[in-house]
């Protein structure tokens, strides 16, 4: 999620774009942080667009990505408007995480203010399958309330909202995340740094080794992190599933190829 930042954003290019200047079909701002954003940047670069992928300031080491990258907040919707106008973008793609509500709201407001095409790339949500033991909750507070005393948790909700879980002395487990957690944790918890994709065999080993009784996760969707759900089903343990929040109603597609097709229709060569 993009937020206000006291430091200037950094801009870089991991490789030269395939076309520049007058040959480019237009600059496209991708609000990134997902596998879909990385794939789309490559597709746009190959198709003759100039992709610029923006990462929130919390991203310390973004993965290699085609085209330009930008790290840092915009300063709200107004700051995003100024950036879009200054950099002369032709379109905006919201490929942020399904739970990154604030940046999606700012994207809708800024694109509307600048009269720019906007499309959201949002992977389909997960749905429970036969044998799953899901407990659906609406938010982080609901997830915490659903965890019984004595539970051993595999917590996979990122690092920004984990304190309510780590502060409970009656539960324990593994908190898995990509970016480091900068605060001390109680002895009953372990921080595990890992980047997807994850695989069923290793998820089963993790559950067995740490005697996991519950998986707590957000309904992010996608294949890269689905393995924990399969492992939980095979082990017969409960999954506390946090439902997706509502986002602004904008044109939405399910994958990068569909986003590219959308942009070809709305961005003039």
Please report whether residue 1 resides in a domain.
no
Please report whether residue 256 resides in a domain.
yes
Task: For 157-208, write each residue's pLDDT tens digit.
Answer: 999 999 999 999 999 999 999 988 888 888 999 999 999 999 999 999 999 9
Look up the domain containing 97 and give its range: 10-123+247-266
Of 54-68, 117-131, 137-151, the poorest mean pLDDT is in 54-68
Q: Is the pLDDT of residue 14 over 90?
A: no
Is 253 within 8 Å of 119 (Cβ atoms)? Answer: yes
Query: At 64, is the pLDDT very low, low, confident or very high (cuts 50, 70, 90)?
Result: confident
The CATH number for 211's domain is 3.40.50.10700
Q: 89 and 141, same structural domain?
A: no
Q: 63 and 26, same structural domain?
A: yes
């Amino acid at each position: 999620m993009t937020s206000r930042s006291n430091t200037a954003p950094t801009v870089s290019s991991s490789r030269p774009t395939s076309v520049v200047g007058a040959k480019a079909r237009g600059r496209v701002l991708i609000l990134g942080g997902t596998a879909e954003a990385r794939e789309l940047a490559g597709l746009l670069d190959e198709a003759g667009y100039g992709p610029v992928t923006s990462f929130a300031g919390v991203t310390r080491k973004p993965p290699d990505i085609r085209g330009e990258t930008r790290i840092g907040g915009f300063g709200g919707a107004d700051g995003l408007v100024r950036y879009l106008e200054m950099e002369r973008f032709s379109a905006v793609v919201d490929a942020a995480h399904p739970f990154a509500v604030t940046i999606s709201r700012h994207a809708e407001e800024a694109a509307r203010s600048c009269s720019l095409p906007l499309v959201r790339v949002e992977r389909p949500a997960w749905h429970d399958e036969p044998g799953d033991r899901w407990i659906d909750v609406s938010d982080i507070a609901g997830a915490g309330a659903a965890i019984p005393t004595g539970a051993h948790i595999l917590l996979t909700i990122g690092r920004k909202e984990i304190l309510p879980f780590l502060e409970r002395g009656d539960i324990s487990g593994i908190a898995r995340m990509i970016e480091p957690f900068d605060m001390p944790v109680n002895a009953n918890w372990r921080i595990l740094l890992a980047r997807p994709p994850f695989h069923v065999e290793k998820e089963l080993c993790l559950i067995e080794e740490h005697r996991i009784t519950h998986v707590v996760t957000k309904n992010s969707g996608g294949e890269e992190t689905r393995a924990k759900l399969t492992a939980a089903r095979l082990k017969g343990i409960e999954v506390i599933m946090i439902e997706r929040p509502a986002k602004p109603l904008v044109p939405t597609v399910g994958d990068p190829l569909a986003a590219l097709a959308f942009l070809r229709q709305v961005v003039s060569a």
